[in-house]
Structure 1
Amino acid sequence: MKSFKHLAMSAMVGSALLLGACGANGGAEGNGEQLSGTVKVDGSSTVAPIAEAINEEYAGVQPDVKVSIGVSGSGGGFEKFIAGETDLSNASRPIKDEEKTSLEEAGIDFTEFKVANDGLSVVVNKENDWVEEMTMEDLRKLWLEDGKTKKWSDINPEWPDEEVKFYSPGTDSGTYDFFHEEVLEEKDMVRQNIQLSEDDNVLVTGVTGDKNAIGFFGYAHYLANKDQLKVVKIDGVEPTNETVESGDYPLSRPLFVYAKNESMKNNEAAYDYMKYTLENAGEMAEAVGYVSLQEDQYKEALETLEGLKK
């Protein structure tokens, strides 16, 4: 993620900072109180651009609070959350029942906060002049493992008789989980001609470097690289802010931050950072390419967070 943050996202983060300078607020800095301490965050690479943009600005108002943001995927983040290594866990999918059970066994109470919406984006190479849109059934047929090497002509006989190269987030990624559940209906993903990576930069590079490539990742990562990639309409709908917010885009999904209740109650820095996140997530999400929630949803989340302090 480092190269993505410093290269592809630099302009977006700059926009986020400008927005924040004009109107961001919240947390202890609102009353002039300066805090110190550490906040440990890990999880989804999809949520990371929002977290990093917020952290850039938060560091300016609370310079003595050290926030570390790891990017080991939603599943990897939950593993650290369960092990008690983190205060917050970013996720691009809801927590699984088995993860809830593990947290309960570890004696860790948590609260789920929705922070933005995303539209998982399916992309192909810019030189691909045959794919404009696919149905969910087309995607399923293309990505399902059937023991054969997949060719474009398997989906449409008018498409090239060329082998497809696949690029997918790794199995620790919530994006992988979402695709596995929503598109593949929890059946096995294709195993031939595929590269999996938790680093979205690797996926972008792979798709841009091969005319026969196809991949998928979060909407913000597509927007940051849209000059190099071609997005595929799904069931006739292109991912946009409007179609993601309305849910008309078939691969729309929520993004989450999971907070350890104990940290919210006993770690003032962690509570303040989470409060700041909820108060500014809408602006930051839009600035880095995602879709904000409705204002009342953030207000309700802040009330929930405040209740954890009592």
Structure 2
Amino acid sequence: MFKGKKGKVVLMLMMSMLVVFAAACGNNANSGNTENNGGAATNNVATNAPTEEAAKLSGEIKIDGSSTVFPLTEAAAEEFNKEHADVRVPVGVSGTGGGFKQFCAAEIAIADASRPIKDEEATACKDAGIEYTELSVAFDGLSVVVSKDNDFIDHLTVEELNKIFMTGSTVKTWKDVRDTFPAEPIVMFSPGADSGTYDYFNEAILDKAGIRNDEAISFSEDDNALVQGVSGSKYGIGYFGFAYFEENADKLKVVPIDGGSGPIEPTYDTIKDGSYAPLSRPLFIYVNNKELERPEVKEFAKFYIDNIGALAGEVGYVALPDEQYATEAAKIQ
């Protein structure tokens, strides 16, 4: 068929083309098998691993309670939302007592508290069939503050705070508190009765005698309103969490308190080591155990304890020791 030298060349070219074509077919067949095997492997991985949609958390975690704990929980919620954008975490500020009322009525999943739960609140939860987990989250130093314009107070004793704030007190002017103070009316500001800060001050300073309730004192559940009240009066005095003082240190002066060992000012160190006595206190969140069965609530509680130590300083609080956070984390498991 192919004659001569030219024919041989053509024959050789055709044979080479056939070899290349056969190799290509073989490679395609092998590629097909590889793709099928690879596809099967890929499908197996996709089947065994959760899809992105399945891995996402969603839902709502309602939280309410202490205005003191609010900045901590708000910070935790904001950071949590960066990782879990489909979970809504509204945080209310009804005071510690108001938060426990909602908590024991199963209206919220988590209660912020600036004091431990009271016996009557624990009974209300028990009667409603609500079991809970108490988690310590940070330290706070309840701070007594006056206006920046106050130029006569360098410190106060616990006894003097009793003269000012205790129910039944007849003290009206600063001179009634200390002879060297001016004869000017005292203007007092206090958190409301639903506040854990109110309860703690009453217990730690007034030995549960109660806070006076007359024309000389104004109450508010809003710490910012207390800041405005004290800062706007040269003869004003009030108290609230350390974080709110830190945030408003440009217009307030913190008062060192003498609890028997000399005047101590609240700082990160004095709050953490307990030397700022008797006004150093732990802060808490309470989580409904039934709610912890919801994956988004459990994940948030774990996230809170794992991260709040780092966040605490950013919002004016003092972190617990690392070993304490490990203890709290174990409770969630």
Q: What TM-score do the two structures reach when normalised by structure 2?
A: 0.81
Paired residue secondary structure (1:68): coil
Where do residues 8-87 of structure 1 align in structure 2 (5 Å cutoff)? 33-87=55-109
CA distance in 2, matches of 1:295, 1:48: 22
- What secondary structure sits across from 1:70 in the alignment? coil
Q: Which has the larger radius of gyration?
A: 2
Q: Where does residue 225 of structure 1 map in the other structure? A: 248
One-letter amino acid of the structure 2 residue matched with residue 239 of structure 1: P
- In structure 1, the gaps of 5 or more residues are 1-31
Identity %: 46
Matched residue type, 2:149: E
- Alpha-carbon shift at residue 148 of structure 1 (Å): 2.7
What corresponds to 2:299 in structure 1? 272
**Residue in 1 aligned with 2:48?**
none
User: Corresponding residue for 1:254?
Assistant: 282
1:102 aligns with 2:129: no
- The aligned residue for residue 25 of structure 1 is none
What do the CA deviations read for 1:220-249 (whole angstroms, capped 9, x no partner)? 000000010000000110000000000000
Taking a change above 3 Å as real, the CA distance of residues 42 and 227 of structure 1, as seen in their structure-2 partners, is: same
Aligned to 1:112, what secondary structure does the other structure show? strand
Matched, 1:133 2:161: no
Contact 1:149 1:163 in 2 (8 A): no
Kept after mapping to 1: 8 A contact 2:137/2:284: yes
Q: Is 1:288 matched with 2:315? A: yes
Q: Distance in 1 between matches of 2:121 and 2:183?
A: 43
Runs of 4+, deviation exceeding 4 Å: none
Is residue 2:191 matched to residue 1:169? yes
Matching residue within 234, 246, 253 for 1:211: 234
| Aligned Cα root-mean-square deviation (Å) | 1.1
Residues in 2 aligned to 1:183 and 1:191: alpha-carbon distance in whole angstroms:
16
How far the C-alpha of 1:166 sits from its partner, in A, is: 0.5
Please report how far the alpha carbon of residue 106 of structure 1 lies from its aligned counterpart in structure 2 after TM superposition: 0.3
Deviation (angstroms), 1:59: 1.1
Please report how far the alpha carbon of residue 149 of structure 1 lies from its aligned counterpart in structure 2 after TM superposition. Answer: 5.0
Which residue identity lines up with residue 129 of structure 1 in the other structure?
A: D
Pick which of 186-195 and 272-281 moved more.
186-195
What code does the residue aligned with 1:261 have?
N
Partner Cα separation in structure 1 for residue 267 and residue 296 of structure 2: 35
- Give the corresponding residue for 1:93: 115
Higher relative contact order (CA 8 A, sep 6+): 1
Alignment-mate amino acid for residue 254 of structure 1: P
Which consecutive unaligned segments of at least 5 residues does structure 2 have?
1-53
User: What SS does structure 1 have at the residue aligned with 2:209?
Assistant: coil
- Give me the whole-angstrom Cα distance separating, in 2, the residues matched to 1:258 and 1:212: 38
How far apart, CA to CA, are the structure 1 residues paired with 2:80 and 2:210?
Answer: 42
Cα distance in 2 for partners of 1:33, 1:154 equals: 65
CA distance in 2: counterparts of 1:150 and 1:257, whole angstroms? 38
**Matching of residues 179-198 of structure 1 within 5 Å:** 179-192=201-214, 193-198=216-221
Query: Which whole-Å CA distance do the structure 1 matches of 2:323 and 2:66 have between them?
Result: 25
Contact 1:168 1:216 in 2 (8 A): yes
Displacement, 1:190?
A: 2.1
Tell me the TM-score normalised to structure 1 length.
Answer: 0.87
> Separation in 1 of the partners of 2:256 and 2:111?
31
CA shift for structure 1 position 179:
0.4
How many residue pairs were aligned? 274
C-alpha contact (below 8 Å) 1:121/1:218 kept by paired residues: yes
